[in-house]
Each structure stands twice: as structure tokens, then as C-alpha cells.
Amino acid sequence: MEKLEKFAAMGLSENILKALEAKGFEEPSQIQEQTIPLLLNGDSDLVGQAQTGTGKTAAFGIPIIERLDEKSKQIGALILTPTRELALQVADEINSLKGDKKLKVLPVYGGQGIELQIKHLKKGGIHIIVGTPGRIIDHLERGTLKLDNLKFMILDEADEMLNMGFIEDVEKILSQTSENRRVLLFSATMPQEIMRIAKNYMKDHKVIKIQKKAVTTDLTEQIYFEVSERDKFEALCRILDLEVDFYGIIFCRTKHDVDTTTTRLIDRGYDAEAIHGDITQMQREKVLTRFKNKKLTILVATDVAARGIDVNNLTHVINYSLPQDPEAYVHRIGRTGRAGREGTAITFVTPDEYRKLMFIKRVAKTDIKKQQVPEINEVIEAKKDRIRNQISDIMEKGISKGCREFARDLLLSGEDQGQNLEDLIASVLQFALDDELEEKSYAQIRQVKSKKNEKTRLFIGLGKKEKINPKKLVDLICSETRIPSKAINDVAVFDKFSFMTVSADDANTIIDAFRRKKGKNHIHIERAKELGK
Ligand code: ADP
Ligand code: MG
């Protein structure tokens, strides 16, 4: 558990810590670090502002889970979100954070049949409701939802709710909740209107604002390579060989990836070191000292392990695995292009990750350009150039006595044996370089087949028997993913199953989204056949 040290120090229960570990959270984000302790104790209201992707959901989700009583028969928390997608996402995040605690979370949003929601609400036993404002008002007006005993009222993504014109609805809901509930407002930005809500509906409230990280500097060139997973290592070696003064960090997702990549680099003759959570403090310091002094120029790291490193004059940052979210991307690449020096951030993307990269690009508001992995002959020419320069340098600075005498010997005995000069120099080079200049020492990189335009037919284990029609099916898929309905084509519904055509990329997203569902929410979805061109 030592990884979760900071979370544990906040006084979180063993149950939550276990859930955090399962989710792979290691350290609280800034907004979490400041809000969780505040919400675990006392009863002040709160306004929390932090950029998108900084973990605001867990910032309020964790304390709510800790503080609600699973034995209570009343709804303890209402979370308002601007869209049903967000409602479902927040409900998901809370369910994955609650561990073994028996808290029931119900998403309540427009577009889903109201009768079903009423049934769930009547049955009771619900502790947390995540809903969109319109539908919540609908239930309040019908008397099917009571908020008298609410302990927490959360306005999530408040600026979005304002943008979408929900503010009046939100105020109406706020006015119907009991006096002593805590109001928590989370938002990426804080327009005037939002501050007014805070003033009108909150008692003594705390404001926690996390400064926006400087977005990427113009001095960082950002590029990406499309490579398949198995070619990433080869692509990495080509970059390392091409870039003379490489001084950089190679980011991997997991400790295991860090270890494997480092070992492979060392096996191929590079001086590389790894840092991640399982490296001892002593080893870590040793490695970092070498790295800071540029005795070591290739560092392989996880995001978390790299967090504390105060080196920012790197020539390169390599995203060997795609960062988890836009914030991590900005954080990673912020280590190059500082202090007037130019830097390059290179991201490897597999065809399946293309959509995620575009998301990062959009949210981080940066320009990431596609480039081809350098060709083998390009890399070899670059190496030769470097050797030529080094030879000229040596000649300029003066050749050592030992080498000069040995050269004379070699020339003389060569002459005696009738060798020519070309053979002699070539042999000396081969002795020094082994097969470094041979094409065969590089593996081929396969052209990735871009899946962007490929179509996939999906089989869905739901049909007319389940009262499904094409529209309902599309709505269901759209509400669970962020895929727009127009991206779904040729829907065919049969008695027990259905089919639809989507892009290969969307197919992955859909299969992933439903794979995690358990129990009666589980729907069997698989590829029917590939329709690739
Ligand atoms: P926000 O609401 O601020 O935009 P989210 O709550 O949606 O951000 O979180 C963004 C992503 O970051 C989610 O995938 C979430 O699981 C993940 N995340 C949140 N907190 C942490 C953490 N402490 N460590 C690692 N990942 C985290
Ligand atoms: Mg959010």
C-alpha cells in the first residue's frame, strides 16, 4: 500500500484504498489533495475549480462514499451533470471507487424511460443519484423524488450546465433541497453567473482553485508516429540513433513496460535506466543524479515516478505509451522546450489509440503533427555523418601517439601483404562499429493499416424480445459511449440479436464500454465480421 501513501494519510478507509489500488490511482491529483480532507470533515460548502481531466469526480466522489451510511434508507447525495453521458460516466466512476461498500448509485437522465426510473426510485435503497437537471425536476414535480434528507448536493461541470442553459433548473433544484445539505460546486472555469450561484445558495463556503498548468510552449515540436505495438521498440531505436544529442525521458504506462523497454535498450547497447514505484529510493537518487549531470541521457519512467524530477531542459520526451489523459500529456511534454531551448515530443500511437490521441489533442489544445518513422537508410546516413564529424574532430585536435604508431604498422604490414587501403580502413571501421552501419541490424517496421476508415459489423445480443428497435439500440450505444448516432449505420434488429456497422475505432470503444458491465446490464457485443476494404 505504500504507493497510496498520500491517499492513506488523508485518513481514507481501507475499503477505498483497495478500490484506488484496483483503479491504478497512485497519488491524489492537486484538486483531490485539497478537497478530499476538507470534505471528509466538517460541513462547509465548497467551490472547486480545476482543469478538465484533473480528477474532479473522485475529488467529491471519494468523500461522499466515505461519509454516506449504507444502512440509510434516504437519498444522501444528488450529483447534477450537464449531459447523460457525463451522468453515466460519473456513476461509473463512483461505482468503481466505492469498493465493497453497499451504496447504490442511480443515474437519472432524460432520454431513458421515466417509468423505469420511477420504479427504481419507488423501490428505494438508493444512496446516490446522478442526474441531468431537466429529468430531476420532472421527478421532483411528479413527487417521485424526495430530497429532504440530502447530505450532499453536487453541481458537476457547472460551467457546462451554464452553457447549456440549465442554470434556472439548477437553481430550482437547489431551492428544493433541505437547508443543511452541503453544496459542492465543481467547474473547469468560473464565470460570473456561477459565482453568483455560489453566493446565493452557499453558506460560508471555501474556494479551492488549482492554477491552470501552462499549456505547451511553442518551442516544443509535437509529432506522432503511427506504429503497431510490436514495432514501437524498433521505432524508438531509430529515433535514438538519429538524434545525436538525445537527452530525454521515455514514458511508459506500467512498471512492467518500463522494465522491459529498459532491458531491451540495454541489450541493444544503449545506456538507459529505469525509474518507477518499485525502484528503491537509493537507486532512484543514483539514477537521477546521473541523469541531471547528463552522464545518463536515456531515462525510462512511469508518469508518477517522473513527477518529482526537476529536469526540464530535455531535448526529447517520448510517449512510448499514450498518456492517460490530456493533463498527463501536457505535463509530460512540458519538460522540453523550456528556457529558450527547442525540444521535441514524440508520441507513439497504435491504430486503436488514434481516437484517444485526437481527444488529447483537442482538450490540450495543441497541434500534434503526424510524421513517418525515420527510414533505416536515413538513420544509417545520420550515423555516418556523426562518425565523419568525430573523425574530423580527432584529426583537428591531434591523434594520439599510440594510434598513430599502430596505424603506421598496419599500413606497412598491409603493403607487404598486398592489401589495399580501402580494405584496411573498412576493416578498422568494422572492428570499431561491428555491424552498426548494416541495414540488417535494424528490423523492418510494418506500415500500419490505418483503421480510421475501416468498417466493422457488430453483433449485439439484444433484439425484439428485449423490446429493442433500431432507435433504442442506437440511443443505448450513444449513451454509453461518446459516439454520435450518425456514426452508427445499417442497424438491423432481429428477435434475439441485432447488427450495426461502425468504424473499426468505434467498434473498439463500444466493445470496451460494454465489456465492463456486469449482471443484467451486461450485453454481449462482438465483431460479426470485418468489412475492411
Ligand atoms: P475531471 O472531472 O476533472 O475532468 P475526471 O474526474 O473525469 O476529471 O478524471 C479524469 C480521469 O483521470 C479519469 O479517467 C479518472 O479515473 C482519472 N483519475 C482521477 N484521479 C486520478 C488519480 N489520482 N490518479 C490517476 N488517475 C486519476
Ligand atoms: Mg468532471
Whether 450 maps to a domain, the answer reads no
Three cell numbers written together for 221: 515540436
**The pLDDT value given to residue 532:** 42
Q: Are residues 140 and 224 in the same domain?
A: no
- Is the CB of residue 53 below 6 angstroms from any atom belonging to ligand 1? yes
Give the residue from 71, 67, 68, 70 showing the smallest Cα distance to 38.
67
Q: Are residues 463 and 428 in the same domain?
A: no
Residue 294 makes CB contacts below 8 A (sequence gap 6+) with: 247
Q: Are residues 39 and 127 in the same domain?
A: yes
Residue 10 makes CB contacts below 8 A (sequence gap 6+) with: 28, 36, 37, 40
- Is the CB of residue 57 below 6 angstroms from any atom belonging to ligand 1? yes
**The pLDDT value given to residue 533:** 36
Whether 486 maps to a domain, the answer reads yes
Q: What is the mean pLDDT of residues 126-138?
A: 96
Q: What is the mean pLDDT of residues 287-314?
A: 86
CA dist., res. 263 & res. 458, Å (int):
40
Question: At which of 187, 209, 231 does a domain end?
Answer: 209
pLDDT at 129 over 90: yes
Question: At which of 209, 240, 255 does a domain end?
Answer: 209
For position 347, which CATH number holds? 3.40.50.300
Whether 446 maps to a domain, the answer reads no
Atom 10 (ligand 1) nearest CA: 53
Which of 324, 359, 362 is the pocket-test mutation for ligand 1 (most atoms within 8 Å of CB)? Answer: 324
User: Residues for the chain: how many in total?
Assistant: 533
Ligand nearest to the CA of 21: 1
Name the DSSP class of 4: G
The band of 447, judged by pLDDT with boundaries at 50, 70 and 90, is: confident
pLDDT at 13 over 60: yes
Q: 272 C-alpha vs ligand 1 centroid, how far in Å?
A: 31
**The pLDDT value given to residue 403:** 92
For position 472, which CATH number holds? 3.30.70.330
Whether 381 maps to a domain, the answer reads no
* Atom number in ligand 1 closest to CA 27: 23
pLDDT at 451 over 80: no
Question: At which of 343, 373, 403 does a domain end?
Answer: 373
**The pLDDT value given to residue 190:** 85
Whose grid coordinates read 510552449? 217
Q: Are residues 395 and 465 in the same domain?
A: no
Atom 15 (ligand 1) nearest CA: 55
Helices first, then strands: H and E counts in the chain: 21, 18
Looking at the 3D structure of the chain, how many domains does it have? 4
CA dist., res. 495 & res. 497, Å (int):
6
The domain in which residue 522 lies consists of 455-530
Which of 86, 159, 325, 512 is the pocket-test mutation for ligand 1 (most atoms within 8 Å of CB)? Answer: 325
The band of 95, judged by pLDDT with boundaries at 50, 70 and 90, is: very high
The band of 433, judged by pLDDT with boundaries at 50, 70 and 90, is: confident
Whether 448 maps to a domain, the answer reads no
Whose grid coordinates read 500529456? 329
Instruction: Give the Å distances, CA to CA, from 260 to 79, 272, 324, 482.
Output: 43, 12, 20, 34
Ligand nearest to the CA of 363: 1
pLDDT at 490 over 90: no
- Is the CB of residue 54 below 6 angstroms from any atom belonging to ligand 1? yes
Element (H, E) at 493: strand 489-493
Three cell numbers written together for 267: 541489450
CA dist., res. 72 & res. 60, Å (int):
20
- Residue 510, SS3? helix
Give the residue from 138, 120, 131 showing the smallest Cα distance to 155.
131
Q: Are residues 367 and 398 in the same domain?
A: no
Atom 1 (ligand 1) nearest CA: 53
Residues 136-176 pLDDT 10s? 999 999 999 999 889 999 999 998 888 788 989 999 999 98
Q: 223 C-alpha vs ligand 2 centroid, how far in Å?
A: 28
The band of 480, judged by pLDDT with boundaries at 50, 70 and 90, is: confident
Range with the poorest average pLDDT among 7-16, 27-36, 283-292, 436-445: 436-445
**The pLDDT value given to residue 6:** 92
Atom 2 (ligand 1) nearest CA: 56
Summary mean pLDDT of the chain: 88
Atom 19 (ligand 1) nearest CA: 55
- Sign of torsion over alpha carbons 402, 403, 409, 413: positive
Residues 31-88 pLDDT 10s? 999 999 999 998 999 999 998 778 999 999 999 999 999 999 999 999 999 988 889 9
Q: Are residues 69 and 29 in the same domain?
A: yes
Q: Are residues 240 and 310 in the same domain?
A: yes
Contact at 8 Å (CB) between 17 and 1? yes
CA 200 from chain centre, in angstroms, equals 37
Sheet holding 369-370, edge to edge: 272-275, 298-301, 248-251, 316-319, 343-349, 220-226, 369-370
Ligand nearest to the CA of 54: 1
Q: Are residues 58 and 99 in the same domain?
A: yes
- Is the CB of residue 325 below 6 angstroms from any atom belonging to ligand 1? yes
CA dist., res. 318 & res. 235, Å (int):
11
Q: Are residues 203 and 230 in the same domain?
A: no
Contact at 8 Å (CB) between 322 and 357? yes
Residue predicted with more confidence, 439 or 39: 39
* Atom number in ligand 1 closest to CA 7: 23
**The pLDDT value given to residue 307:** 73
Whether 215 maps to a domain, the answer reads no
- Is the CB of residue 52 below 6 angstroms from any atom belonging to ligand 1? yes
Range with the poorest average pLDDT among 23-37, 109-123, 329-343, 424-438: 329-343
Q: 324 C-alpha vs ligand 1 centroid, how far in Å?
A: 9
**The pLDDT value given to residue 1:** 47
Range with the poorest average pLDDT among 197-211, 346-360, 383-397, 436-450: 436-450
* Atom number in ligand 1 closest to CA 31: 3
Residues 176-225 pLDDT 10s? 888 889 999 999 888 888 888 888 888 889 999 987 655 555 677 899 99
Q: Are residues 435 and 525 in the same domain?
A: no
Atom 26 (ligand 1) nearest CA: 25
What single-letter amino acid sits at 285?
E
Contact at 8 Å (CB) between 124 and 65? no
Task: Please report which residue ranges of 106-157 form alpha helices under DSSP H.
Answer: 114-123, 133-142
- Residue 223, SS3? strand
Atom 9 (ligand 1) nearest CA: 55
Q: 371 C-alpha vs ligand 1 centroid, how far in Å?
A: 30
Q: Are residues 517 and 484 in the same domain?
A: yes
- Residue 413, SS3? helix
Whether 109 maps to a domain, the answer reads yes
Whether 362 maps to a domain, the answer reads yes
Q: Are residues 163 and 301 in the same domain?
A: no
